[in-house]
Amino acid sequence: MAAVTIWNEYRHERENEAVEAVYPDGIHEALASVLEADHDVRTATLDEPEHGLTEPVLESTDVLLWWGHKAHDEVADEVVDRVQDRVLEGMGLLVLHSGHYSKIFKRLMGTSCSLQWREDDGLERLWVVDPGHPIAAGLDEYIELPKTEMYGEPFDIPEPDRLVFSSWFEGGEVFRSGCCYRRGSGRIFYFRPGHETLPIYEHEDVKRVLRNAVEWAEPRACAPRTFGNRTTAANEE
């Protein structure tokens, strides 16, 4: 049982009827309903003070989920700094779909995180490339999503530590759609599925991946991260 905080931009759902029809309570609530049976779940949104990500909230978060799309630039840099620090200390981070362009993901990757996309409602098949990875536990050979937005290569990211999913799109493209990283003591998982006008987070396999990923990203006990001026030589201690 982890302390999970789900962060959502929460603008689309209040401004666009098509989005509201799919996610009437916001994408964060849809995600919360996937995880709340097993975890202690809170939500936070862009328009709350400090975007809902105050120091006490982050200090008490084991795994943070991130969903943003059209207002990435409105996230304050000091909040991004704070989230980054917590990841380096060990907090898990799940970045979903259009969150690839969030400040926090770009910050942790060091690259542009650019890609190609097309809204076409075609079929996506996420192949399990690394069947031994715990995030793939309980899946079959692939996840099939009948209607999705297309994301295509090149995806400007560092080589993933482990690539769990690789997507096939009906229109002819491929994409590395499940990527694991470590930064400091924290685990990061980028997971492509999710679109504001499609009920992707109701798909059973997608829900399973989200649950697996939270479990995988939970902080582990670790050794001290001690930095700075080491006044005494190890040989003199």
In terms of Cβ atoms closer than 10 Å to its own Cβ (0-12, 13-18, 19+), residue 33 is middle
Smallest separation (angstroms) from its own copies to the CB of 216: 9
Joined tokens for residue 84: 């980054």
Binding mask 159-178 for its own copies (x = CB under 8 A): xxxxx--xxxxxxxxx-x--
Smallest separation (angstroms) from its own copies to the CB of 25: 30
Q: Which of 182, 4, 215 is nearest to 89 (CA)?
A: 182
Smallest separation (angstroms) from its own copies to the CB of 199: 23
183 lies in the binding site for its own copies (CB under 8 A): yes
49 lies in the binding site for its own copies (CB under 8 A): no
109 lies in the binding site for its own copies (CB under 8 A): yes
36 lies in the binding site for its own copies (CB under 8 A): no
CB 96 within 8 A of CB 67: yes
Smallest separation (angstroms) from its own copies to the CB of 171: 3
Binding mask 130-159 for its own copies (x = CB under 8 A): xxxxx-xxxxxxx-------x-xxxxx-xx
235 lies in the binding site for its own copies (CB under 8 A): yes
Spatial CB neighbours of 106, under 8 Å, sequence gap ≥ 6: 112, 113
199 lies in the binding site for its own copies (CB under 8 A): no
Distance CA 76, CA 31 (A): 23
- Would you say 22 or 209 has its CB closer to its own copies? 209
Which of 30, 115, 145, 213 forms a contact with its own copies (CB under 8 A)?
A: 115
Q: Is the peptide bond before 154 cis (omega within 30 degrees of 0)?
A: yes
| Ranges within 51-90 binding its own copies (CB under 8 A) | 84-85, 88, 90
Q: Which of 203, 210, 131 is nearest to 164 (CA)?
A: 131
189 lies in the binding site for its own copies (CB under 8 A): no
The CB density around residue 201, as the number of other CB atoms within 10 Å, is 21
Backbone angles phi, psi at 11, to 5 degrees: -115, -55
Smallest separation (angstroms) from its own copies to the CB of 157: 9
